[in-house]
Amino acid sequence: MFKILISDKLGQAGLDRLNLAKDAHYDMKPGLSKEELMAILPEYDALIVRSDTKATAEVLKAGTKLKVVGRAGMGVDNVDVRAATLRGIIVMNTPGANSIATAEQAIALMLAASRHTAQAHASLKAGEWKRSQFVGTELYRKTLGIVGFGRIGRLVAKRAQAFGMEILAYDPYVSEEVGQELGVTLVDLDDLLAQSDYITLHTALMPETEKMINAQTIAQMKPGMILINAARGKLIDEAALAEGLKNGQIKTAAIDVYQKEPPENNPLIGLPNVIHTPHLGASTEEAQRDVATQIVDQVLDALRGTDFRNAVNLPFEAGLDFAETRPYMELGAKLGKLHCYLADGPVRRVEIEVRGDTVKELIKPIAAGLLKGILEKSISEQVNYINAPLLAEENGISVAQTKAASSLDFANLITCRVTWDGGERTLAGMLFGGVEPRIVQVDNYKLDARPDGYVLVMQNKDVYGVIGQVGTILSAYEVNIAEWRMGRDKPGGEALSFINLDSEPGKEVLDALNKIPAITQVKLINL
């Protein structure tokens, strides 16, 4: 039974989903202090948060059983993603669930700022009738600059085009072709700042975007422009924005998000040319329902291991069909584990080569699996597909990935060369029928071995009688052979055997095998 803690308020539709899950139990406890959260978190397999809970590195460390952190919403700046990744915890969000709500809020703020809606309302409510003080501007034929042209930015563009606005967008990760298809001109940030009558922010919060609206960028803006922020408060240097509003460089700002929420001693509060809303971007009935149901479904699927959609810290592209990807990740893990057993020292370098139309699209998840297999027996930290690449980097393991032309012998082939101080080894594997893993190469030896269960990997001189002697010893100790696969470099040269066993042999068995004169090395591996 999975235990899930919901530490912020979540829509009833999501709770209804959880009530139907026979393999999960949840507790919803909003408003916990950090200390209270850390005290109970060790009990839970998953944590679902909104924006109030701060899942810091310290908090995550307390979650000793934690496998998943689900953020109901798009932004994950309240979750220490790196700390979660190091601990092998999946972090996921719901990027599409509140996109329409946020886009509509941006448009609403733009209209309100253009027509002084909030100020006019307050004036009339106070018993005044001052129409001449609230002369507005039209959106028609104005230039809108959109910073961040992802899902929400594109929704805003589509709606602004209905008002007859010209759209500029800045996003270094979006091609000009995408802009052309959507009727939007992609420009650099300097040009957007200089040409836009309105600027709306829809970029993610990252080190390079924090306080991107500052004294310098404000000075580059068209005098008298209007600024909208319904994305993240930390995108703006609030003191610099306040100064720009006071000196007239910025005519009006419409702000839904703040550096600190609720805002305290905020220089924007009280300025007459600022419209404020209390972080309402996702606050629609529809968005609250969709966010709740989506994050619940995602967390349950992740706990069950069936899907990891919208995970933000996967070491490979999200959106891959996990059911199809998983067998190749598991093959990579078996190759890595085999490498770990066979290496005669700490691994320093890993070179991965994939051949075939299927595996060339899966090189990153295969690499994650391979590193997981290499690391899980060699370091003290818990290793999984999420944290393996980062842990490999921290442990000084360099990784090279190569996509090559299709193999003549196999439809899809994964080859991995591992180097340690003073040695190296090459392994290759494939999936038979797309589902059954096979080891098809160990260094220069060709074979067809099944990497499963207890395996004796044996190197010996290719002379008569070896197989009989090994079989006799295993029989004497009542260890049954399930499969025996062998490859050799040449007749009378060296041979390598991959012997699958039905049970684990004791140390005395290995000692007896090592006394056979023709055997140069034998290792027991549990795959």
Residues marked active site are found at 232, 261, 279
Tokens found for residue 435:
């589902």
Tokens found for residue 227:
């600024």
Q: How many Å apart are CA 389 and CA 396, to the nearest integer?
A: 11
Q: Which residue has the tokens 């924006």?
A: 51
β pairing state of 143-147 and 198-201: parallel
Query: What is the full DSSP assignment across 82-136?
Result: HHHHHTT-EEE--TTTTHHHHHHHHHHHHHHHHHTHHHHHHHHHTT---GGGG--
* C-alpha distance from residue 92 to each of 25, 47, 365 (Å): 19, 11, 17
Sign of torsion over alpha carbons 223, 224, 230, 236: positive
Q: Which residue has the tokens 């309105």?
A: 198
Let me know if 427 is exposed, middle or buried by CB neighbors in 10 A (0-12, 13-18, 19+): buried
What are the backbone dihedrals phi and psi of residue 222, each rounded to the nearest 5 degrees, phi first? -65, 130
Q: How many Å apart are CA 375 and CA 104, to the nearest integer?
A: 47
Q: How many Å apart are CA 150 and CA 506, to the nearest integer?
A: 59
Buried b (16+ CB within 10 A) or exposed e, 369-391: bbbbbbbbeeeeeebbbbbbbbb
Q: How many Å apart are CA 137 and CA 129, to the nearest integer?
A: 19
